[in-house]
Every structure is written in structure tokens, then in C-alpha cells.
């Protein structure tokens, strides 16, 4: 039987975070406002009115956080760069103090023997760009590529790999279609140009990064989709949802084409957004696909017409504090399914997020169980031939969980948000020992 110790030699262990969720210092050192500052300032958007103004105060406590990662023995750290720290209005003038923060962080990580893996966009668009239409506008893709070039010019001598976008699906759906994330627009299917403009931004930025010698990944949030029954209606609904969630952002990047969106009444050019040459740019070869996995999705035919699918609850499985179903084998199913769908077009996969929220306890046995069973599922996918290169736990620290504020705790390390005291949980020691054992096993095999 395969388990987590069978993951391949050279496999990279890490933790992940994102700028708005941990940094705080929202108005310091020339940082411009982002859409999340605007959104959280609006009443009724985030549970209990929480904001990321201070978050984990990582902007001032990054030394301590790097030391925590050194203690874990991780090979790599996935963090995100706040675009409005680097370019306060999203274009033109560069804020030296903002870039200097990431410059120091990268040096400190390398000194600690940790590879930096920055994500360039984890949802904190400069507000000035949103004022001009945000990702609904094609121009934002070009601004994103310019920003990518600015960052790579400064950090590219030390950063080997980059992630362009984090979960463009979630950003489009929650941010622009439903409005429960920033920028809070509720455009339903009229949000679809946001998909294309984000992907175009990815393609343009990838070219800039590669021209500077960087390796490029994109991170998509994926879910195995299961039909609630074998009825033709449920099967069609599941296929429609799978197309939207899993194919809309993978097919253009991996195959150079959009999937058939006719179930949504949407044309192949996404309402006129796609222009000649765009798909060639978007489909330039990737060095890796970042996959975020949390849970599978059960889909039924909709009771009312509107969208061609409806969500159904997954019964009979444990749930996290967020209410998300815990189904570890979904990770294996997802990865094996990806390989089946994309074959040789699937680049090596890195799990760039996987984790769970549980109550505040320091003795977080539920988290240990979640992580260990998911790693076993990952090892099973590797044994079935999926080329998996790394795994990043979400998250190093309890942090600002978007519309849920500070109510969902995903950290290996507990954070007291009043005192900012960090306290490693039992899962921290468990992950540290797992990583050490993997390193030792493979060092032995090599010698």
C-alpha cells in the first residue's frame, strides 16, 4: 500500500500564504489601496466587519515567520506579492519601498535554505485599475504583464519559478459573478470576459518572466465533479459544472482552446473578448501546473432554469469547521482524471494549496488527519503515474480568510490576533517530522 513516504525523491515540501491575508500594513511605505481594502471597508461584506488592515502583521514580523518555516524544514515557501505595494496605482511609477520588502524576504528565505515561490496575483488588484473596469477590461492584462516584468527585473536573479495567477476561477466567480469577494460585482455570466482577461494576463506575464529566465506556473483551484445520480439530467449538469470549474481555465492554457460553453449560452469567443493570437499566447508551454484542492463537488440538475447545474450536499463524510466535506481520495481522483483528460499536455503538477480550517485548538488532531490522508491520496496518484513535484500546505499561519474574516483557522501555527503571538500547533510538529523523515529516507536511498 502506497503512503506519503513513497512520494518521489526531490519532492518539494512547502507552506503557502497570500499577501492580503497575512501582511497587514495596508497603508504603509507607499502601498496603494487594493480592491480588498475597498471591499472590507464596506459594511456587510465580511463577517464581523473584519479587514486585512493588520492581519498577521507579517509585514513587520516576517523574520519570525521565516524562522518558523526554517523550524519546519520546508524546501519552499509560496507567498504572494501585493501588486499595490509594487505599483500603487497598478501602472507606471514603481514604489521602491514595496519592492524592497520582497527583496529582503527573498534573501532571508534563501539564507534559511528555503526556495521562494512567489505568486504575482492573489486577488489584491490595485483599486485604481478596478476603477477603470478591473479584469473586465483587456487593458488590465497588459498592466499585469508590465508589473510582472518590474518584479522579475528586481527578484529574477534569485527567484527561479513564478506563479502568475492564483485561482482565476474563484476570483471571477466570487469577485465578479456573485460579488461575495472583492470587487463585489454580481454580473453572473456577464463576468466571463474576466476569465479571458486574466488568462491573457497570464500569457503576457509568462512571456516576460520567461524572457528573464524564470520558470512559470499558474495555480488553478480544481474539484472532482460527481453527478448526484446516473440520470441524464444530473450527468449533463455535472458536465456543465466541470466545464466551468475545471476546464475553463485549464483548456486554454494546456490545449490552446476554450471548452464548449454552449450549455451556458456563451459563444466560443466569450462574448467577443477573445482576439486573434490570444490563445497562442495563453497556451505557451508551462513549466508546471499548480493545483489547489480542498474538496470534491456533487452536482444535480437545477430545479429552476438559470444556471445549468445546482450544488448538492455530500453526505456521510466528516466536515471541517468551514463545513467543507473531507474526501481525501478526491485528490487522487482529480489528479488521475487530469492526466486522463490532458495526457502529454499535462505538465508536472505541484499541489500549491491543500489544508483545512478547524477550531482554535493547539492539539489539532483533525488537521493532522486531514493532511496525512490527503498526502496518502497524493502518493497514490503518483503511484498511478501522475508526475507530482511538490505539496504546499495552506497555511503556515491562521490568517484573514476573505469573506469569513478571522473566523476560519487554517494555520499550522496559531495566531492570537490581539497580541500577534504565534504558537505552533501539533500539526506543525507533525509536518516537521514528516518532512524530516522524507528527506532522510531519500538521502539514504541516494547514498
Q: Rule CB under 6 A: choose which of 7, 15, 18, 74 binds ligand BGC.
A: 18
Residue 111's Cα: distance from chain center in Å?
26
Choice among 115, 130, 239, 353 that is catalytic: 353
**Contact of 165 with 218, CB cutoff 8 Å:** yes
The distance in angstroms from the start CA to the end CA of the chain is 25
Residues 281 to 320 in contact with ligand BGC, rule: CB under 6 A? 292
Answer yes or no whether residue 221 interacts with ligand BGC by CB under 6 A. Answer: yes
Answer yes or no whether residue 23 interacts with ligand BGC by CB under 6 A. Answer: no
Residue 65 or 208: the one with the smaller Cβ distance to ligand BGC is: 65
Which position has the grid cell 503515474? 385
Report the distance separating Cα 445 and Cα 396, nearest Å: 29
Of 243, 256, 219, 224, nearest to 349 by C-alpha is 219
Residue 197's Cα: distance from chain center in Å?
18
**Contact of 370 with 284, CB cutoff 8 Å:** no
Candidates 4-12, 57-65, 166-174, 259-267 — which segment interacts with ligand BGC by CB under 6 A? 166-174
Answer yes or no whether residue 121 interacts with ligand BGC by CB under 6 A. Answer: no
Candidates 6-14, 163-171, 178-186, 364-372 — which segment interacts with ligand BGC by CB under 6 A? 163-171
DSSP 8-state assignment for residue 419: T
Q: Rule CB under 6 A: choose which of 112, 170, 207, 312 binds ligand BGC.
A: 170
Residues 364 to 423 in contact with ligand BGC, rule: CB under 6 A? 394, 401
Answer yes or no whether residue 353 interacts with ligand BGC by CB under 6 A. Answer: yes
Choice among 23, 167, 208, 401 that is catalytic: 167
* CB-based contacts of 93-97 (< 8 A; 24+ apart in sequence): 94/150, 95/29, 95/30, 95/31, 95/32, 97/29, 97/30
Q: Rule CB under 6 A: choose which of 124, 167, 208, 234 binds ligand BGC.
A: 167
167 in active site: yes
130 in active site: no
Residue 40 or 292: the one with the smaller Cβ distance to ligand BGC is: 292
Of 330, 176, 198, nearest to 253 by C-alpha is 198
Q: Rule CB under 6 A: choose which of 127, 166, 295, 393 binds ligand BGC.
A: 166
Helices assigned H by DSSP within 123-260 = 127-131, 139-155, 168-170, 193-211, 232-242, 251-255
Residue 259 or 355: the one with the smaller Cβ distance to ligand BGC is: 355
C-beta of 410: minimal distance to ligand BGC in Å?
6
Residue 95 or 221: the one with the smaller Cβ distance to ligand BGC is: 221
C-beta of 293: minimal distance to ligand BGC in Å?
10
Report the distance separating Cα 350 and Cα 2, nearest Å: 19
C-beta of 428: minimal distance to ligand BGC in Å?
18
Cell numbers at residue 180, please? 461575495
Residue 166 or 250: the one with the smaller Cβ distance to ligand BGC is: 166
Give the three-class secondary structure for 221: strand
Residue 21 or 198: the one with the smaller Cβ distance to ligand BGC is: 21
Count residues near ligand BGC (CB under 6 A). 10
Report the distance separating Cα 260 and Cα 156, nearest Å: 38
Please identify every residue annotated as catalytic: 167, 353
Binding interface with ligand BGC (CB under 6 A): 18, 21, 166-167, 170, 221, 292, 353, 394, 401
Amino acid at each position: 500500500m502506497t503512503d506519503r513516504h513513497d512520494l518521489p525523491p526531490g519532492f518539494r515540501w512547502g507552506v503557502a500564504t497570500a499577501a492580503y491575508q497575512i501582511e497587514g500594513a495596508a497603508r504603509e511605505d507607499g502601498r496603494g489601496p487594493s480592491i480588498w481594502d475597498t471591499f472590507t471597508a464596506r459594511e456587510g461584506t465580511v463577517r464581523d466587519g473584519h479587514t486585512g488592515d493588520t492581519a498577521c502583521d507579517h509585514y513587520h514580523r516576517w523574520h519570525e515567520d521565516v524562522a518558523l518555516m526554517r523550524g519546519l524544514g520546508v524546501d519552499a515557501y509560496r507567498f504572494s506579492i501585493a501588486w499595490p505595494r509594487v505599483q500603487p496605482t497598478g501602472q507606471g511609477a514603481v514604489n521602491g519601498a514595496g519592492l524592497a520588502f520582497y527583496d529582503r524576504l527573498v534573501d532571508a528565505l534563501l539564507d534559511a535554505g528555503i526556495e521562494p515561490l512567489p505568486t504575482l496575483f492573489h486577488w489584491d488588484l490595485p483599486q485604481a485599475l478596478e476603477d477603470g473596469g478591473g479584469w473586465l477590461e483587456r487593458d488590465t492584462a497588459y498592466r499585469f504583464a508590465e508589473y510582472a516584468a518590474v518584479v522579475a527585473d528586481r527578484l529574477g536573479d534569485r527567484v527561479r519559478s513564478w506563479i502568475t495567477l492564483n485561482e482565476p476561477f474563484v476570483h471571477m466567480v466570487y469577485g465578479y459573478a456573485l460579488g461575495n469577494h472583492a470587487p463585489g460585482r454580481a454580473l453572473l455570466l456577464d463576468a466571463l470576459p474576466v476569465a479571458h482577461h486574466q488568462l491573457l494576463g497570464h500569457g503576457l506575464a509568462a512571456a516576460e518572466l520567461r524572457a528573464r529566465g524564470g520558470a512559470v506556473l499558474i495555480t488553478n483551484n480544481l474539484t472532482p465533479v460527481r453527478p448526484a445520480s446516473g440520470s441524464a439530467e444530473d450527468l449533463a449538469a455535472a458536465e456543465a459544472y466541470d466545464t466551468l470549474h475545471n476546464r475553463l481555465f485549464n483548456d486554454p492554457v494546456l490545449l490552446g482552446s476554450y471548452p464548449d460553453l454552449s450549455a451556458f449560452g456563451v459563444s466560443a469567443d466569450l462574448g467577443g473578448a477573445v482576439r486573434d493570437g490570444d490563445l497562442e499566447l495563453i497556451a505557451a508551454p508551462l513549466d508546471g501546473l499548480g493545483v489547489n484542492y480542498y474538496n470534491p463537488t456533487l452536482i444535480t440538475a437545477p430545479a429552476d432554469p438559470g444556471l445549468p447545474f445546482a450544488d448538492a450536499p455530500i453526505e456521510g463524510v466528516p466536515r471541517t469547521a468551514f463545513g467543507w466535506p473531507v474526501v481525501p481520495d478526491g485528490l487522487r481522483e482529480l489528479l488521475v482524471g487530469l492526466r486522463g483528460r490532458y495526457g502529454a499536455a499535462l505538465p508536472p503538477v505541484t499541489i500549491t494549496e491543500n489544508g483545512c480550517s478547524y477550531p482554535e485548538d493547539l492539539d489539532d488532531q483533525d488537521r493532522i488527519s486531514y493532511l496525512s490522508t490527503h498526502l496518502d491520496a497524493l502518493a497514490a496518484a503518483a503511484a498511478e503515474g501522475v508526475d507530482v513535484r511538490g505539496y504546499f500546505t495552506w497555511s503556515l499561519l491562521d490568517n484573514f480568510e476573505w469573506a469569513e474574516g478571522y473566523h476560519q483557522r487554517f494555520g499550522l501555527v496559531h495566531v492570537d490576533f490581539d497580541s500577534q503571538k504565534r504558537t505552533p500547533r501539533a500539526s506543525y510538529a507533525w509536518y516537521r517530522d514528516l518532512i524530516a523523515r522524507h528527506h532522510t529516507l531519500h538521502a539514504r536511498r541516494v547514498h
